[in-house]
Structure 1
Amino acid sequence: METADSVEKGDGGEKAGNGHAEGAAASGGGRMRGCRGFLRRNALVLLTVSGVVAGVALGAAVRGAALGPAQVAYLAFPGELLLRMLRMVILPLVVCSLVSGAASLDTRSLGRLGGIAIAYFLGTTLLASGLAVALGFIIRPGAGASALNAPALGLPGAVPATSKKTVDSFLDLVRNLFPANLVAAAFRTYATDYKIVLRNTTSGNVTLEKIPVGTEIEGMNILGLVLFALVLGVALKKLGREGEDLIRFFNSFNEATMVLVTWIMWYVPIGIMFLVGSKIVEMEDIVLLVTSLGKYIFASILGHFIHGGIILPLIYFASTRQNPYRFLLGLITPFATAFATCSSSATLPSMMKCIEENNGVDNRISRFILPIGATVNMDGAAIFQCMAAVFIAQLNNVDLNAGQIFTILVTATASSVGAAGVPAGGVLTIAIILEAIGLPTNDLSLILAVDWIVDRTTTVVNVEGDALGAGILNYLNEKEKREKEQELKEVNVEAVANSKSEEETSPLVTHKKQVSNTTSTADPESKESVL
């Protein structure tokens, strides 16, 4: 018996051991499956981040090879292909997404969402400008750096001063909203230039006079295309059934463009690696520039970090009561693309794809607000421009008064709207700010020298502001839908209660009930009498 019991116990122990082993194997297999599922879901994000790291390593490794300009161009060729592919889909993406987005929203909600979007864009840009000016006075990046000059740093000569007036810049902004030729707006932008004319006065003296002349420069007029697409979408909505065919065409075109974006996204890690690597190789003396202009670089990046890491998430949390960092976690791929390409417009395709698939934003909202944001919402550029203006003022030992500070804030906010969403697009608008406050533009070459560093965090903050704005609008739109559904439920409940009370208090109904009751009470009496 003891032997039998021991054998049975041994068998039970072996079975228990096998069960534990099977459970461990099953849990190990589950972990493996979960790990594979995580890698499959986040493959693009991991590859993109790896592309940035590999690009830094590639640039550091090749930097000692002393490549010539031709070799650097060959190294940057895969990254150039990425930029060309992303810019290729910008035009159909902006036009088709805005037409379909404006046509899918009713006029009242379109106006409400548009008003909220404009208030959000202007408010956040003013906050960004104010933050940059405050940090400029606290850190004082230009104090004690008056000895800096372009030749000492091995930079090219001073950037020629712009002759464009501030008023003409704002007028050009309005002109570009209404392009004279819609086809030309796809590749040209209106800009005011000046022609010098000799005039003889009555006293016989010769004077020089600048006359503004309208010119067309290379670059897509996205502002004009955005306004036209919005108005066309509203017009198609007003047509009703007659406009449905064209709305379906733009919807199909938009979906096909998003499929192309999906294909391009898998090339992004390769292109990013070579873009970052070639830019590192391109710079002649990074250490000298960073040490000489370190306070300016630090102040600009700190402003971007505070605005993008604290202020914008706080605005999102105050508006939605949701975790902003969880929302931003699903947008790592477009942020890495913005960091590598330094272009808000080139980041637009990946941003639209990720914000819809990863964060569940309604495609009508994202395709309505993101193209507008990529054009007019430039929080990072406003920080960069204001910091540069304060830096150049301190560099020239100029104490800014309250009027000049106000001019910087307003001009930076307005000029950031018209800044091109391309690399170094905001540098030329700094000249407008400097002209507005009466500062020389000769020191812009210092800004250009380190623009490739600051412009990366600038673009990331630009696209982050667009994404959080889309998230806020999506939340408000969903909240309004829920409130309407609740109102409909309450109305239905009240209608049912009223119909019941009306039925109970109707004299006809009570009369019928009384008759039936009398007949029902009379029947037993009649039956009793018969019996």
Structure 2
Amino acid sequence: MEKKSEINGHALPSSASTDRILEKSAQSSCRQKLVEFLRKNLLVIMTVSGVLVGVGLGMMVRNMNLTKAQMTYFAFPGEMLLRMLKMIILPLVVCSLVSGAASLDTRSLGKLGGIAVAYFLVTTLIASGIGVALAFIIKPGVGAGALNSNNLGLESMSSNKETADSFLDLARRQQGKVDSEKMLRPSTGGLEIRLKTKTDLEYYNTRVLQHFIKVDFTLRNLFPSNLVAAAFRSYATDYKMVAIGNDTNGTTLYQKVPVGTEPDGMNILGLVLFAMVFGVALRKLGEEGEELIRFFNAFNEATMVLVSWIMWYIPFGIMFLVGSKIVEMEDVVLLVTSLGKYIFASILGHIIHGGIVLPLIYFGFTRKNPFSFLSGLITPFTTAFATCSSSATLPSMIKCVEENNGVDKRISRFILPIGATVNMDGAAIFQCIAAVFIAQLNNAELNAGQIFTILVTATASSVGAAGIPAGGIITIAIILEAIGLPTNDLSLMLAVDWIVDRTTTVVNVEGDALGAGILHHINQQEMKKQQEQQQQEEEELAEIRVEAVANVQAEEETSPLVTHQTKTLGATPEAIESVL
């Protein structure tokens, strides 16, 4: 007979029954936790799975020997993802900056902006230092003198660009396709690239120029002459030869004259500056500007809703983005063996900066675990790895930073668009390594002045590097021109840019995210200080009021000219006097 115990007259089940109940409750609890975990991290799991499935799919389709047209169709879903992400960049950047600048106090805006600029400059300078140091330690160009850009179908590459103009223009421009078998004429963008065969021409069209970006750094683009045109055009300086007369022998003399051009490509820096200034102006208007501020806030929130919808397409698009890149690969073994040390140095620099330096900076400011902060950003990191575009990663980065890490919207929507434009730590690393690599390739000894020039130029030029695939390649030409090295070996960088650019973009967006976290922490500390100061002032004011009441009561007792009536039920004058 089963034994039962009684408490207050109620029968209880046996210990075996209790164990079964507890076991069932534990199983249901574990099941609920698993379901909750999957529900919260479903998008992250799907995104990472998309990358893995994309690798397997690419390796499988690679053996099918697809034609160029079939490769284009295969990459179509990934192209659609890029187009959707780029579509959302313009409204997201403008509206978020206007609402962010308008919601912050002018003093807070200036202070946070100063801290952000200092953070961007210091981290980029550290990244440049890491790149130069690794290049001299690993020496990727030593022993690679036999490596020739002819192996890649590109003989030479020269820039029709003056270094001074590169720092006066802040433009981005994308080259059109090669329309001649001989060369890409300077009038199409200032580059002269000789191609040997029609096969090389086809290779260049399909593999290089699709993602080849001409980057010009210009202050002129900070102030676009046409704000509407800045949404799809930028400004860049080009050169043309103008006849100025004849010499004594009758030979025509020509002079190289700079001319302004308007290549296709969003002038993101001009839009960023205008949005910030416009937001500050709206706040200065006070009540008159509230309606317009609410409009931009609503526009911004609607844009974020669109972002949340697009993010569910990211796993599917990333699968085909990664798969198409694997299908397009030609002789990967040759590239890795010939440029393996350069690839290794670049990726190692990104690991050191992104895995050690940036987390240490975050920990130094916040005293919090940086990796728990970064664990909430797996989706934007995966997007950055697949798209190679910090601008395309911006929508998912803003959403994850706010929802997963609790960063204030005013901070994230103010600093992340700026960081995606000007903060390029990963680009600074590979640019410095590439510059030293080309110097070693040409057996050129770099002195201390040239090394310092590389550091400063890479830090400054990374500010204008385009947040799009291959955005930093031509930036290296500026560094090479500054230290007096030839630019004809830059085509080697193009051959492996699709490998290095992935870790470069991840480090770029990581620096932006940690910067937003640091600014959020500093803002929280300032708010706490203000609240404590306000509370202390209120306490002091309360003490002054109590003393004033006591003095009034004393005057009432001693002065016959002052009469005071206190309505207190059931209280004697002695009791009132003792309370005061």
Shorter-normalised TM-score: what interval?
over 0.9
Residues 346/520 of structure 1: CA separation in 2 closer, same or farther (3 Å cut): closer
How far apart are 1:505 and its partner, in Å? 4.3
**Amino acid of the residue matched to residue 115 of structure 1?**
G
Aligned partners of 1:10, 1:481: CA distance in 2, in Å?
59
Identify which of 258, 264, 268 aligns with 1:212. 258
Aligned partners of 1:414, 1:369: CA distance in 2, in Å?
19
Identify which of 277, 280, 295 aligns with 1:234. 280
Identify which of 381, 386, 395 aligns with 1:340. 386
SS at structure 2 position matched to 1:158: strand
Q: How does 1:37-436 map to 2 (within 5 A)?
A: 37-152=36-151, 155-172=152-169, 173-204=218-249, 205-436=251-482
* Map of 2:555 onto structure 1: 508
Does the CA-based 8 Å contact 1:158-1:444 persist in structure 2? Answer: no
* Map of 1:474 onto structure 2: 520
Does the CA-based 8 Å contact 2:154-2:491 persist in structure 1? Answer: yes
Q: Which moved more, 1:406-415 or 1:8-17?
A: 8-17
Residues 125/21 of structure 1: CA separation in 2 closer, same or farther (3 Å cut): same
Does the CA-based 8 Å contact 1:290-1:297 persist in structure 2? Answer: yes
Aligned partners of 1:14, 1:97: CA distance in 2, in Å?
62
* Map of 2:26 onto structure 1: 27
**Amino acid of the residue matched to residue 472 of structure 1?**
I
Hey, which of these two has a bigger chunk of helix by percent? Answer: 1
Does the CA-based 8 Å contact 2:95-2:299 persist in structure 1? Answer: yes
* Map of 1:527 onto structure 2: none
1:8 corresponds to 2:3: yes
How far apart are 1:63 and its partner, in Å? 1.3
Aligned partners of 2:265, 2:254: CA distance in 1, in Å?
31
Aligned partners of 2:495, 2:317: CA distance in 1, in Å?
23
How far apart are 1:457 and its partner, in Å? 0.3
Mark the runs of 5 or more structure 1 residues left unpaired by the alignment.
Answer: 1-5, 522-531
**Amino acid of the residue matched to residue 328 of structure 2?**
E
Aligned partners of 2:247, 2:335: CA distance in 1, in Å?
54
Aligned partners of 1:520, 1:428: CA distance in 2, in Å?
89
Does the CA-based 8 Å contact 1:412-1:433 persist in structure 2? Answer: yes
SS at structure 1 position matched to 2:63: helix
How far apart are 1:112 and its partner, in Å? 0.5
Residues 394/30 of structure 1: CA separation in 2 closer, same or farther (3 Å cut): same
Does the CA-based 8 Å contact 1:156-1:445 persist in structure 2? Answer: no
* Map of 2:189 onto structure 1: none
* Map of 2:483 onto structure 1: 437
CA deviation profile, 1:28-79 (whole Å, cap 9, x unmatched): 0010010000000000000000011111111111111111211111111000
How far apart are 1:117 and its partner, in Å? 0.5
How far apart are 1:512 and its partner, in Å? 6.7
SS at structure 2 position matched to 1:141: coil
**Amino acid of the residue matched to residue 153 of structure 2?**
P
Aligned partners of 1:512, 1:285: CA distance in 2, in Å?
104
How far apart are 1:227 and its partner, in Å? 0.3
How far apart are 1:10 and its partner, in Å? 11
How far apart are 1:476 and its partner, in Å? 0.5
SS at structure 2 position matched to 1:397: coil
Aligned partners of 2:268, 2:165: CA distance in 1, in Å?
19
**Amino acid of the residue matched to residue 27 of structure 2?**
G
Does the CA-based 8 Å contact 2:149-2:156 persist in structure 1? Answer: no
**Amino acid of the residue matched to residue 310 of structure 1?**
I
Residues 10/476 of structure 1: CA separation in 2 closer, same or farther (3 Å cut): closer
**Amino acid of the residue matched to residue 511 of structure 1?**
T
**Amino acid of the residue matched to residue 45 of structure 2?**
L
How far apart are 1:520 and its partner, in Å? 7.8
Report % sequence identity. Answer: 68
Aligned partners of 2:441, 2:259: CA distance in 1, in Å?
34
Does the CA-based 8 Å contact 2:157-2:491 persist in structure 1? Answer: no
Does the CA-based 8 Å contact 1:504-1:510 persist in structure 2? Answer: no
Aligned partners of 1:520, 1:206: CA distance in 2, in Å?
112
Aligned partners of 1:515, 1:258: CA distance in 2, in Å?
65
Aligned partners of 2:523, 2:497: CA distance in 1, in Å?
38
Residues 477/13 of structure 1: CA separation in 2 closer, same or farther (3 Å cut): closer
Aligned partners of 1:35, 1:279: CA distance in 2, in Å?
35
**Amino acid of the residue matched to residue 347 of structure 1?**
T
How far apart are 1:501 and its partner, in Å? 2.8
SS at structure 2 position matched to 1:448: helix
How far apart are 1:14 and its partner, in Å? 7.0
Does the CA-based 8 Å contact 1:503-1:509 persist in structure 2? Answer: no
Does the CA-based 8 Å contact 1:375-1:420 persist in structure 2? Answer: yes
**Amino acid of the residue matched to residue 242 of structure 2?**
V
* Map of 1:456 onto structure 2: 502
How far apart are 1:150 and its partner, in Å? 2.2
Aligned partners of 1:452, 1:219: CA distance in 2, in Å?
21
Does the CA-based 8 Å contact 2:157-2:489 persist in structure 1? Answer: no
How far apart are 1:211 and its partner, in Å? 0.8
SS at structure 2 position matched to 1:398: coil
How far apart are 1:509 and its partner, in Å? 4.1
Aligned partners of 1:337, 1:175: CA distance in 2, in Å?
32
Aligned partners of 1:479, 1:110: CA distance in 2, in Å?
15
C-alpha RMSD of matched pairs (Å)? 2.0
* Map of 1:3 onto structure 2: none
